[in-house]
Structure 1
Amino acid sequence: MSDHAQPSDARWSELLTADYSAATTTLCLGVALFAFNGFLVSTSLPTAVGEIGGIELISWAFTLYLVFSIVGGASGALLKARFGSRTALVGSALVFLAGTLIAAFASSMTEVLIGRALQGVGEGIIAATCYALIPELFPSRLVAKVFGAEAVVWAIAAFGGPLVSGMLTEHLSWRAAFLINVPLGLIFIALTFRIVPRFSGEIQRLSVPFFRLSAIGAGIMLVALASIMQSVPMEVLFVAGAAIVLASVILIDRRSDTPLFPSDAFSLNSTVGIGLWIVLLMPVAQASTSVYLVMTLQNLWGYGPTKAGAFSATFAIAWSLFAILVANIQDPRRRAWMIRLGPTLLVSGLAIIVFGFSLDEPLVVMFGQILIGTGFGISWGFLSQTVMEAAKSGERDRASALLPTLQSAGYAIGAAIAGLAANAVGYPLATTPDALRHASIIIFAVSTIIGLGALLAGYALPLRKKTMLAIDLPKL
């Protein structure tokens, strides 16, 4: 189908045509590497530490992966500009595979941590570069459908990842669960060579901003350390320090000759700036449910791991389902309202979760969880596309690549804030149902308040007519 087709002619089946099937598969596989890897490791790692030891370091396997993935993602646009998309993707995939092999054949927890750090760097660059490629490989009318397809990949990973990893770990070895990434990575590399054109320009002599990348890593590390501190004053100190470091990076980046971010990142008077605030604040608000919901269901209502996990997965199901349902919307005004409705549903869902725990009603809590997933599903694709296409000339790659990186950073920051609230209200020490319920209500109430920031930003987002037309009209 030609790019000159009318927006209303866009169909889901077009993603599977000869023109776009390889690109769709490649980008979805890039998402799958990230999504499945997280679920595979979380399921198999406890068995791994039972064999090789190092249980006191198990949390660092996740922390280092997150920190290095954010640093890798922050450098994604720069690497794409310097070496081209194909080289950046293939190189980062090889780094990811090297990390996978090191972790899979590790004889100590130290080796697992090294492998996880390499996986993080590689996957961070892959995610950022894949986002930057979406507006290059697809006409505007199909972009929302690409995000819908990626949401489906996340939902499949949420269910299939733990199942496959559990079966392999139980019947073969935890190492086999890690090694699933190898064929996926090799297929990704082969598809990259097929669909991503060779870099035709000259390799740019761009200086690598090691100081800013290191500062980003240090800021996220402070966030991660805050989440494991046992002292509330220390947690506050670490979170405040992280905020200062990351804000300083943004300010320094604006004056740099080799910027990592769009020039108007986090400004309060541009579509890109406010849109990035929404991209950050929605995961910050939602992170509390990822960290504490399953644990609370088990401890408060006696749910088993499977039942609690299925309960929590309603978030991913709702996200995927509604991302698919709204992807056919082409009217610019309706898309604008979907973007604003997303944070509204997020706040409503968190408030309903608070209400559900206060009533001691699991079904009310589940309804809140579904609303949160619905909020992400109806808004995330349109929000991401708006930021991509509202970026200034020459800054689209930086704006696009920042989206998955910022999402990961939002979850890290949100987890730290939720942990701070939990320790402040005595959640770890709660031994009675009433105490646990009260602590849970406070944690999710704090998240609701944070969500109000995303809601306000949504209604402040300057969706000018020309911006929405850019989303609606196909590229010529």
Structure 2
Amino acid sequence: MTEMESDHGADLASGWGELLQPQNLAATTTLCLGVGLFAFNEFFISTALPTAVGELGGAALLSWALTLYLVFAIVGGMMAADMKRRFGARATLLAAAGVFVAGTLLAVTAGSMVDVLAGRLLQGAGEGVVAALCYALIPELFPSRLVPKVFGAEAMVWALAAFGGPVLAGALTEYWSWRAAFFISVPAAAIFAALVVAIVPRRGPASPARTTIPFSRLFAAGTAILMISVSGTLDGVVPVAGLLAAAGAILVLTVRSDIASSNPVLPSQAFWVSSPLGAGLWVVVLMPLAHAGTSVFLVYALQHLWDLGPTAAGALSAVMAVSWSSSAIVVASLRTRTARHRMLLAGPVLLTAGLAGLTVASVSGALWLVLPAQIASGAGFGFSWGTLSQLMMEVSDDAERDRTSAMLPTLQSAGYAIGAAVFGLVANTMGFAEDMPDTVLKTAMLAVFAGATLVAAVSILFGLRMGSLARAQGRF
């Protein structure tokens, strides 16, 4: 009987302390630091970038700092499994960390916003590979019984980044320089690289076969994501809708081409609703896509519909991250796989309930609903994300586990990118603009939050389908 089978539905003897034992401490620290590079870098840059724009100029390019980072992070994540197979995990992680550091130093020494954008592009490419491979290494570095604890530890890192990142970056920017806030990622990346050398074995590619990197499909996917991101900067519903439609068509054709390829980027059953992996990957995309509307518009709505100040609005927005991390720790502490799977299925339901609460709040003006809605949304991700990620790894064929694991953070980022563009189109269609009347803003927010609720409800159906199929295979 395998460890996974014996663990199914049984009490787990492992506790949080096992992650800190000598045989696991270095691996735990390395993977958390890999996630931390992504999380802290996001909050550091978003906090310091406005000051950089003030010094360097180029305010019109501000949104591109996020767009280029996101697009190349997704492309890097799509390349990660193939690079691991060709060059080995250790060499790939070290190279990716080097690309990330090069991008950071380029941004730190930037003389113009163009230099900053080039640096962000390299940061995204490097961090996309690092984040994807940190997921792929979890089942290699830890026994199955510890995987939920690893995801719980990573949730703690995200919570720390959500609160500590802006504070630290703000202090460095205000009392020293925005360049210092950018530079702080360099020593963190150096520590990460040293840990990779220490814990990841020096070995060659897992497969001796030499395959070509599918640059044409990667280029097509990257172009589609870029088109989706750029659509949010356009004026007019028709151009935005046209760009989104074209991007959607490119993505569909790219996925079909990938499935038929002898060297695929995606796992072979990706998005097939007849397999637990395919149904589960729909949940991986749809939950972030649904939440993207809140990520983009909630703080604005709190400030303009309810007249909250930036601090109060930001605090209410951050409640979701705290709830996510707290609930993820609770789920990781559960001692049976069966209990965690039940919580997994509750995740999309809680997200739907939270978004429905925001919808009601936008209509009724009931500010008190925002707090429980944010708690429910965060708990939806916390209850499901770690267990869902582990299940996707377990239902994959051994030969495809690296591709599946690497796709999880990549598809999450893609979901947020697509959702931000789609709900931006929804808001613009409803008249969202500067200096709009409160009635128009209320209508736009109603459309955004209601649309997000519908998307989250669809994720419930895919979650149930995934659970049913996985149960039939004895995996649930």
1:362-400 deviation digits (Å, cap 9, x = unpaired): 220121111000000001011000000100230000000
Residue 45 of structure 1 corresponds to which residue in structure 2?
A: 49
Residue 82 of structure 2 corresponds to which residue in structure 1?
A: 78
Note the C-alpha offset of 1:437: 1.9
Note the C-alpha offset of 1:445: 0.5
Is residue 398 from structure 1 mapped to residue 392 from structure 2 by the alignment?
A: no
Q: Is the 8 A contact 1:285 1:451 kept in 2?
A: yes
Is residue 297 from structure 1 mapped to residue 311 from structure 2 by the alignment?
A: no
The residue type paired with residue 370 of structure 1 is I
Q: Which of 313, 318, 340 matches 1:335?
A: 340
Is residue 57 from structure 1 mapped to residue 61 from structure 2 by the alignment?
A: yes
For residues 53 and 12 of structure 1, do their structure 2 counterparts lie closer, same or farther at Cα, with a shift above 3 Å needed?
same
Is residue 180 from structure 1 mapped to residue 187 from structure 2 by the alignment?
A: no
Aligned residues: 467
Q: Could you say what secondary structure the match of 1:428 adopts?
A: coil
1:173-200 deviation digits (Å, cap 9, x = unpaired): 0000000000100000000001111114
Residue 18 of structure 1 corresponds to which residue in structure 2?
A: 22
Q: Could you say what secondary structure the match of 1:266 adopts?
A: coil
Q: 2:446 & 2:239 partners in 1: Cα distance?
A: 23
- 1:121-136 to 2 correspondence within 5 Å? 121-136=125-140
Residue 124 of structure 2 corresponds to which residue in structure 1?
A: 120
Note the C-alpha offset of 1:203: 5.8
Residue 152 of structure 1 corresponds to which residue in structure 2?
A: 156
The residue type paired with residue 416 of structure 1 is A
CA RMSD after TM alignment: 1.5
Q: Which of 286, 290, 307 matches 2:291?
A: 286
Q: Which of 147, 167, 172 matches 2:171?
A: 167
Q: Which of 117, 141, 149 matches 1:137?
A: 141
Q: 1:340 & 1:422 partners in 2: Cα distance?
A: 30
Note the C-alpha offset of 1:430: 5.6
The residue type paired with residue 227 of structure 2 is L
Q: Which of 457, 462, 470 matches 1:463?
A: 470
Q: TM-score, normalised by structure 1?
A: 0.95
Query: Structure 1 stretch 444-453 or stretch 332-341: which is displaced more?
Result: 332-341
Query: Structure 1 stretch 5-14 or stretch 400-409: which is displaced more?
Result: 5-14
Query: Share of identical aligned residues, percent?
Result: 51
Q: Is the 8 A contact 1:128 1:404 kept in 2?
A: yes
Residue 106 of structure 2 corresponds to which residue in structure 1?
A: 102
Residue 281 of structure 2 corresponds to which residue in structure 1?
A: 276
Q: Which of 307, 313, 322 matches 1:308?
A: 313
The residue type paired with residue 183 of structure 1 is P
Is residue 377 from structure 1 mapped to residue 382 from structure 2 by the alignment?
A: yes
Q: Which of 82, 94, 97 matches 1:90?
A: 94
Q: Which of 355, 360, 366 matches 1:361?
A: 366
Q: Could you say what secondary structure the match of 2:261 adopts?
A: coil
1:146-190 deviation digits (Å, cap 9, x = unpaired): 111111111111111110111000000000000000010000000
Q: Is the 8 A contact 1:346 1:451 kept in 2?
A: yes
Q: Is the 8 A contact 1:151 1:323 kept in 2?
A: yes
Residue 216 of structure 1 corresponds to which residue in structure 2?
A: 221
Q: TM-score, normalised by structure 2?
A: 0.95
Note the C-alpha offset of 1:359: 1.9
Note the C-alpha offset of 1:435: 2.6
Unpaired stretches in structure 1, ≥5 consecutive residues? 470-476
- 1:425-444 to 2 correspondence within 5 Å? 425-429=430-434, 431-444=436-449
